[in-house]
Amino acid sequence: MHVHYQDPYRPGRSLIHALDARVKLLVTIAFILTVALIPPGFWPVYILLLSLIISVEILSEIGVVYVLRRSILVLPFMLAALPIIFTLQGAPLFTLSLGGWTLTATQTGMERFISIVLKSWTSVQAAIVLTSTTPFPDLLLAMRSVKIPRMLVTIFGMMWRYLFVLGDETLRMMRARASRSGQSDTPSLKAGGSIIWRAHVTGGMAGSLFIRAFERSDRIYMAMVARGYDGDVRTLAQPKTSLLNWLVLVFSLLLFTALLALAYLL
């Protein structure tokens, strides 16, 4: 089964695809840390970082529109920072009246909110580029190489592999429900009952899916133990990093350090 949103990797022959997964992982982590450490309101540095990640998207040949479309999906979650507009002290911008409450938006709060949105959006784009240009098994090997705890890497690997199993179980249940649901060509007749009845059916399906996933995970674990699994996944030794990859890593770290220094010195 192939579900696109579960497997974002897009094969290609670009320079970004050819880079070592360890280098791409370290550069991505350093980029996200740099974005997080930039003080709020330093718009020129934000623009430079956004231009940098867009340039990488162009070099990777995965498509700027593709990355932007996927990154927009996280924008609603950034609305959790919206109250900061009205809670920070600063010069007032406008006032909202909600019932008995009066909310005053400040310049400091607006600046902080926009900074959070830009930081999150830029960081998500970097993560999308990493996962779109690097196969997930290579990412797991890279995590081990940079000394991320093996148990954590194993959990990541198991979660990723069995997302597809869970998706397969979900599709089978939805197919079974569709085969047992009456359909009519009359527009006024809808399949199923009321919203409450549909919610009840959906809850039952979710419970059944949990039980099926739990039982299958137990069977899979027992099968792995019977084949010698002791909590660690053995892999082959990683090849040496080429000179080009070292140059990319060093140049990227120097560039991020320079941007941080620029932000704090200004």
pLDDT tens-digit series, residues 191-218: 666 677 777 777 888 888 888 878 887 8
- Residue pLDDT, tens place only, 69-89: 888 877 888 778 888 888 888
Whole-number pLDDT of residue 2: 42
d(CA 25, CA 131): 9
Crossing angle of the two packed helices 243-265 and 43-60, in degrees rounded to 10: 160
Helix (H, G, I), strand (E, B) or coil at 102: strand
Crossing angle of the two packed helices 107-133 and 136-145, in degrees rounded to 10: 110
Given a contact cutoff of 8 angstroms between Cβ atoms, the answer to whether 116 and 41 are in contact is: no
d(CA 65, CA 75): 16
d(CA 122, CA 32): 8
- Residue pLDDT, tens place only, 207-254: 888 888 788 878 888 888 888 877 777 776 777 888 888 999 999 999
